[in-house]
Chain A
Amino acid sequence: MNREDNYIDQLTRDLLQSAGEEPSAGLGLRIMQRIEKEAPLARRKVVVYADDEWKATPLIIAGVALYLMLAGCVIGCLFQPEIVDEAIREMKENFPYIVTACVIFGPLTFFAKLDRLIA
């Protein structure tokens, strides 16, 4: 907008600022009377969720950690199979606990997310 336009714009604004139409004095009252006849608004259940959105930094850290673990597993399998065998054997003992935890937390996370999505 050039200087001329700015001048006309400001002049128009100044002129129109005084031109607001005034409704009759009883309009507000009449509106409120009609509102009071309305059914009360259905109360909405306010659900507040903690902000659990994944931010970029933790996502990158988790990704790097996952790749390091995978690399460790691959290197272990290739160069020290006996240690890997030992680790798997030890894990076997804890396998029921791991499966139980996965069975509980997996669906829990999934359905919690689904619930939020539907809400």
Chain B
Amino acid sequence: MEEHKWIKDVLAGDTHSFSYLVGKYQQMAFSIAFRILGNREEAEEAVQDAFVKMYRALPDFRFDSKFSTWFYTIVYRTSLTAYRKEPLFTDYNEAASAHITPEEAGNAASLLESNDRKAVISNVLKRLPPDESLLLTLYYLEECSVEEIHQITQLTLSNIKVKLFRARKRFYETLKHLMKHETYAIL
């Protein structure tokens, strides 16, 4: 893989190669930090710290593991340290209420067609609890597997699945709610 070559170059003393890693991972790292912290300045600060930590820990990186998962774990932990509030993940007991039908999801999504999709989705994600917003970002945007999310967050696999279902349901509920309000505001 190309990134393994960059890492080896950085380990050999070529700091310039690190800029390739920065270029490739800064956006996703920022998305993760922003989902947790909810503030651009703090998120950028956390991303900078995470990259410095990653640079220092690079000699310990094992090339048989996935670099992105290893790095996102650092970003996640750095952001949690900066978060310093109540625990990010809260316990959910019931999974049944997380059910959503394709019709509900489709209806909510269809409301988006005449609007600025990116801005609306960002707004919806900002309104979700940080843990749910983070899981949706990792799973649907970065396309991490449940196993990779487990490595990053240390949540159990079943817990991740339940939280993902719940987050998805809340995402569509919030989207529908937001779009209705916007429509009323225009009228």
Given A12-B168, A18-B118, A43-B11 in contact, is the A27-B100 Cβ separation under 8 Å? Answer: no
Closest B-chain residue to A33, C-beta based? B48
CB atoms of B30 and A19 under 8 A apart: no
A-B contact count (CB 8 A): 110
Give bound CA distance, A38 to B52, whole Å.
Answer: 8
User: Once bound together, how far apart are the Cα atoms of A20 and B119, in whole Å?
Assistant: 10
Q: Does A118 contact B (CB under 8 A)?
A: no
Residues in A with CB closer than 8 Å to B136 are 12, 16
Known A-B contacts A17-B141, A21-B30, A38-B56; A27 and B48 likewise in contact (beta carbons under 8 Å): yes
Across the two chains, which residue of chain B brings its CB closest to A40?
A: B13
Contact residues in B for A99 (Cβ distance below 8 Å): none
Task: Report, as a range, how many residues of chain A touch the other chain.
Answer: 20 to 34
Interface size for chain B: under 10, 10 to 19, 20 to 34, or 35 or more residues? 35 or more
Residue A42 CB within 8 A of the other chain: yes
Q: B59 and A41: CB pair below 8 A?
A: yes
A55 at the interface (CB under 8 A from B): no
Would you call A31 an interface residue if the criterion is a C-beta within 8 Å of the partner chain's C-beta atoms?
Answer: yes
Cβ-defined contact, A34 with B48, below 8 A: yes
Q: Which of A11, A16, A22, A28 meets B22, CB within 8 Å?
A: A28
Interface status of B76 (Cβ within 8 A of chain A): no
* Residues of chain A lying within 8 A (CB to CB) of residue B15: 35-36, 40
**Residues 81-126 of B at the A interface (beta carbon under 8 Å):** 100-102, 105-106, 109, 112, 117-118, 121-122, 125
| Residues 36-72 of A at the B interface (beta carbon under 8 Å) | 36, 38, 40-44
User: B27's closest neighbor in chain A, by CB?
Assistant: A20
List residues of chain A with CB within 8 A of the CB of B112: 15
- 6 A-B residue pairings within 8 Å (CB atoms): A7-B106, A8-B168, A36-B15, A38-B52, A40-B15, A41-B11
Interface residues, chain B, with chain A CB atoms under 8 Å away: 10-13, 15, 18-19, 22-23, 26-28, 30-31, 34-35, 40, 43-44, 47-48, 51-52, 55-56, 58-59, 100-102, 105-106, 109, 112, 117-118, 121-122, 125, 136-137, 140-141, 143, 168, 171
Given A31-B22, A31-B48, A32-B18, 5 additional A-B pairs, CB 8 A: A12-B168, A23-B26, A23-B40, A35-B52, A44-B59
